[in-house]
Structure 1
Amino acid sequence: MTGQNAAATTGLRRLREDDLEAAAALSRAVGWPHRLEDWHFGWRLGEGLVAQAAGRVVGTIMAWRFGAEHATLGHVIVAPEAQGQGHGRRLMMAMLDQLGATTSVKLHATAAGQPLYASLGFVPHGGGVWQHQGTASGVGLVPLAEGGRLRPAGRGDAALLRRLDMAATGLDRAALLWSLLEVAEGVVLMRGEEPAGFSLLRRFGRGYVAGPVVAPDEAAARSLMAYWIGRYSGQFLRIDLVGDGKLSSWLQESGLVPVEGVIPMWRGSAPPTAGLHCFGLSSQALG
């Protein structure tokens, strides 16, 4: 079938819950580790579209709104046998139209996807993100700054985590954080009596993912990551590290090797942050 004829037989529609098994199969076909449970988690928080050809799902896209003015995009997948037929561009254009012209949109682009996103008005913003993963090996205690300690995080910390996360990302991700707290373990970084950062860990893909990791500086981020590396030593762990440098080298020494890099891109203005930094993503789709 030619690309023109394929386009003529393709329709776009809303991503439904009964599409998620097909979506998970697509992600496996392109080498992504997402489980069906991971698709359900994202679907409950967001909105999506599918491309259909001959009654079969051949492409997906999802978006998550954070407040009235910002969103993230992810799960942009086209079946290997259907690539090169324009499905990805049609899905992107339809979702951007659905989000509206006033919404600033962020995504994380692979090198292969960057030309498409650039043609739709996305521009690189900030440093790269490196996916580190592997069998974690205990790194020993990483000392905290004087007066620092880690305490468990629970559902009662939802408002606190929202405030810290907004300072690091500029986004109101209350719904995401509440959903993460229902399935994740967490720790809050305290400096004296003041909360200064946090990190969450949950089941994802082949094992566990630690993120978001929100901290005031690289040393604090290392302490938060070391907590999970020590606790889950011998198990498969993933951290999507924002930036590289010393933390990347240290993660490699801990058994988490870099396997893929992506570039943050924004269409519209990125929101301002307020003194904290996101050193590790909850996922490349959700940020």
Structure 2
Amino acid sequence: MPSETSKRLETYELTIREMTLEDIDKLHELSITVLWPHRPEDWRMLLTLGKGFVGCDPIGRIVASGMWFPIGSDFTTIGMVITSPRLQALGGGRWMMKHVMAQCEDRDIVLSSTKAGYRLYTSLSFQPVSTIFQYQGIATSIDPSHLVVNESVRQLEPKDTESILQLDKSTFGTDRSNIIKTVLEKSQGSVLVRNNKILGFALCRKFGRGHVIGPVVAQNSADAIALIAPHVNQHAGQFLRIDTAEQDKLFTDFLNTSGMQEFDTVTAMTNKPLKKAESEFHSFALVSQALA
């Protein structure tokens, strides 16, 4: 545990402590101040998957947060690092990140950096890996005549869980069964089946202003589109979001046709060179920016 559990930032006297479920309402208020869409329910799911710290002012208000999500024994993501702009300028973000990083020890770390946080993370020796594109908007029904109909796509069933976990592991390069199982409990899913074998899946769950699609695993853009299309049609007229590093034009044109326009970008960053998973499958959407 880092020794510096209190810090004065000009007129701010801050203390740091472990994050608990009792903090959810205050954490929700904190994320609203930086215009993040997380609902209390979204915070609650993250707290079941990770650990974190909160920074508090002298009267107990939460003014900073940071979380880490261990995956296996040697990998973790960091997310939900929030400070007010003034505290960020005074070093509040660096203070929080040092506490979170101390818990990660020698693990490989991946995080999604906003534009505001990029300078901080580079100063902590993180290097950019890829750009993550946030697409969102009011979903528009997809005319089947505009798609190559894939009759092998069906609704996900409980019996598919083990196949999905194995497919995700081979694609991601690390076993993150704890995350996928938790997301599965809150999601509706689609799977692509050929020769009685699952060759792709997409999950969709409530998040923020509406629903988010992710993760999505497939061999190519056409398969990813076939997996995502049922979720777009199911939520037509509703707010829908997807976070993806994919830049293939077939895929991005489909997202635009579906009513999801590029809204923002973040930068995936790591503290160590990542080992690329050797797989014929590809990740077409993140679980979330905090969880990768």
Quickly name the TM-score band, shorter chain normalised.
over 0.9
What is the percentage of aligned positions where both structures have the same residue? 35
Q: Is the 8 A contact 1:162 1:177 kept in 2?
A: yes
Distance 2:157 2:270 in 1: 32
C-alpha deviation, 1:144, in angstroms = 5.1
Q: Is the 8 A contact 1:144 1:220 kept in 2?
A: no
**Which residue pairs with 2:244 in the alignment?**
241
Secondary structure of the residue aligned to 2:89 is coil
**Which one of 176, 179, 196 corresponds to residue 176 of structure 1?**
179
**Which residue pairs with 1:208 in the alignment?**
211
- Tell me the amino acid that sits aligned with residue 14 of structure 2: T
The reply to whether residue 16 of structure 1 matches residue 8 of structure 2 is no
1:223-263 residue CA offsets vs partner (Å, 9 max, x unmatched): 11212111211111111122324122321122111111011
TM normalised by structure 2 equals 0.91
Secondary structure of the residue aligned to 1:42 is helix
* CA-atom RMSD in angstroms: 1.6
C-alpha deviation, 1:75, in angstroms = 0.5
Please show how residues 94-109 of structure 1 align to structure 2 within 5 Å: 94-100=99-105, 102-109=106-113
**Which one of 210, 225, 237 corresponds to residue 222 of structure 1?**
225
Of residues 155-164 and 89-98 in structure 1, the stretch that sits farther from structure 2 once superposed is 155-164
Secondary structure of the residue aligned to 1:128 is strand
C-alpha deviation, 1:167, in angstroms = 1.8
- Tell me the amino acid that sits aligned with residue 61 of structure 2: R
Of residues 248-257 and 151-160 in structure 1, the stretch that sits farther from structure 2 once superposed is 151-160
Please show how residues 250-269 of structure 1 align to structure 2 within 5 Å: 250-269=254-273
- Tell me the amino acid that sits aligned with residue 233 of structure 2: G
Question: What are structure 1's unaligned runs of at least 5 residues?
Answer: none
Distance 2:149 2:274 in 1: 31
**Which residue pairs with 1:61 in the alignment?**
66
Distance 1:57 1:267 in 2: 28
Q: Is the 8 A contact 2:221 2:248 kept in 1?
A: no
The reply to whether residue 30 of structure 1 matches residue 53 of structure 2 is no
The reply to whether residue 75 of structure 1 matches residue 80 of structure 2 is yes
Summarize the Cα distance change of 1:118–1:80 in structure 2 as closer, same or farther, 3 Å threshold.
closer
C-alpha deviation, 1:73, in angstroms = 0.9
Please show how residues 86-235 of structure 1 align to structure 2 within 5 Å: 86-100=91-105, 102-125=106-129, 127-141=130-144, 142-143=147-148, 149-235=152-238
**Which one of 256, 281, 286 corresponds to residue 281 of structure 1?**
286
1:151-208 residue CA offsets vs partner (Å, 9 max, x unmatched): 2223332221111111221121101111111111011111222211100010000000
Q: Is the 8 A contact 2:77 2:290 kept in 1?
A: yes
Summarize the Cα distance change of 1:42–1:154 in structure 2 as closer, same or farther, 3 Å threshold.
farther
TM normalised by structure 1 equals 0.93
Secondary structure of the residue aligned to 1:83 is helix
Distance 1:245 1:160 in 2: 26
Distance 2:113 2:123 in 1: 13
Distance 1:27 1:117 in 2: 20
C-alpha deviation, 1:80, in angstroms = 4.0
Q: Is the 8 A contact 1:155 1:181 kept in 2?
A: no
Q: Is the 8 A contact 1:47 1:62 kept in 2?
A: yes
Q: Is the 8 A contact 1:169 1:271 kept in 2?
A: no
Distance 1:110 1:244 in 2: 19
Distance 2:9 2:248 in 1: 43
